[in-house]
Amino acid sequence: MNAPLIAPSVLAADFANLQRDVEMLNRSTADWIHVDIMDGVFVPNISFGLPVTAAIKKHAQKPLDVHLMIVHPERYLEAFRDAGADVLTVHYEACPHLHRTIQQIKLLGVKAGVALNPHTPVSLLQDVIADLDLVLIMSVNPGFGGQKFIERTYERVRQTAAMIAESGSNAIIEIDGGVNQSNAALLYHAGARALVAGNFVFTAADPVQTIAELKKVW
């Protein structure tokens, strides 16, 4: 088994010092930089969009893991790829033609992910799981950083891991929301292989050290 990928979320960074915070992530053992795009429609909050993503890319030495919390994500996939996304994740709940949207992402030459809100049964991914590189299981309701981790997530990770094994898919499971040192190991052992962490990393006295510790959970 391998250590989990750690994907700090720049939603919790200091937006007035983004370059400084991205350079800190470059120096750390973080694997990906998680970029949360919120449109104020799919989720009740607005974060930032294409120009800020491109600005992060300019300084990032790690892949950008772009999480689209927006309606009609299919309209913006190419633009986010061009802004520097290496992984593009859309929400199941925002995609009536999910199969087509996944194929669109793959044609752009980046990794394809689908995110599930906490109420969406993981079994709904059964018919697309073989095409996915990533399943993002939300462990909070999307829209804000710093929320409390939903305990039911462990069972959802186990169910998803079983579905992936059964289908022969190469998808990895990513967890997003309320991740910290006390749930990271349990998530890893349930089958998660990528952990997003926003507040836990950026409010730490030593974010580089905190990222290294999260990675040690396995």
Known binding-site positions: 9, 34, 36, 67, 143-146, 176-178
3-state class (DSSP) for residue 152: coil
* N residues, the chain: 218
Q: Are 32 and 50 in contact (CB under 8 A)?
A: no
> What is the distance between the alpha carbons of residues 131 and 82, in angstroms, rounded to a whole number?
22
Residue among 64, 68, 122, 196 that touches ligand DX5 (CB under 6 A):
196
174 binds Zn ion (CB under 5 A): no
> Could you tell which of Zn ion, ligand DX5, none binds residue 136, using a CB distance below 5 to 8 A set by kind?
none
> What is the distance between the alpha carbons of residues 217 and 31, in angstroms, rounded to a whole number?
15
Binding-site residue set for substrate? 9, 67, 143-146, 176-178
> What is the distance between the alpha carbons of residues 111 and 132, in angstroms, rounded to a whole number?
8
Q: Helical H runs in 131-180? A: 153-167
The residue sitting closest to ligand DX5, measured at its beta carbon, is 198
177 binds ligand DX5 (CB under 6 A): yes
Task: Return the number of other C-beta atoms located less than 10 Å from residue 103's C-beta.
Answer: 14
Over its C-alpha atoms, the chain yields an Rg (Å, rounded) of 16
Q: Which is nearer to Zn ion, 133 or 176 (CB)?
A: 176
Active site residue 176: yes
Residue among 134, 176, 215, 217 that touches ligand DX5 (CB under 6 A):
176
Active site residue 31: no
Residue among 142, 160, 184, 191 that touches ligand DX5 (CB under 6 A):
142
**Closest C-alpha to 122, from 106, 138, 111, 133:** 138
70 binds ligand DX5 (CB under 6 A): no
Residues in contact with Zn ion by the rule CB under 5 A? 36, 67, 176
Looking at the annotation, which residues are catalytic?
A: 36, 176
Residues in contact with ligand DX5 by the rule CB under 6 A? 9, 11-12, 34, 36, 67, 140, 142-147, 176-179, 196-200
